[in-house]
Amino acid sequence: MTTLEKNKTYRPEIVRIGERMYWVQSATDRDQRYFVDLHDGTCECVGFAKRGGCWHLTEARKIEDEREAAARTFDRRPARPSGMAALIEAFEPSGFATGDYPF
Ligand SMILES: [Zn+2]
């Protein structure tokens, strides 16, 4: 009751500490955090030990999936020059060689 009240605004912190590795704060005890390793799909909490799954792992996976999705979106963008690439292309000396123009 009071615990729920107290936890209403509390959001566990999830910290990416390495390639597919996370610290996930406990949802009930903010002094507690668990190491989640997505290579093995493991979490060090009691719930994982008992059930072979827990929300720490689920949350970390969700974030990792979003990271991967974002990376894929970035890769799939059309190869149209923009920003720095456009600037470089605009100032590329060979682009201004007179021989390149049909007149
Ligand atoms: Zn866990």
| Structure confidence at residue 1 (pLDDT) | 47
- Which alpha helices (DSSP H) does 11-83 contain, by range? 46-51, 55-76
Residue 50: how many other CB atoms lie within 10 Å = 9
Q: How far does residue 42's CA lie from ligand 1's centre (Å)?
A: 8
Domain boundaries, the chain: 2-91
**Is the whole model's pTM more than 0.85, yes or no?**
no
Q: Ligand 1 (ion): which residues have CB within 5 A?
A: 34, 43, 45, 48, 54, 56
C-alpha 76 to ligand 1 mean position (Å): 34
Interval 14-63: pLDDT, tens? 999 999 999 999 998 989 999 999 999 999 999 999 999 999 999 999 99
CB of 45 closer than 8 Å to CB of 37: no
Q: What is the mean pLDDT of residues 78-95?
A: 64
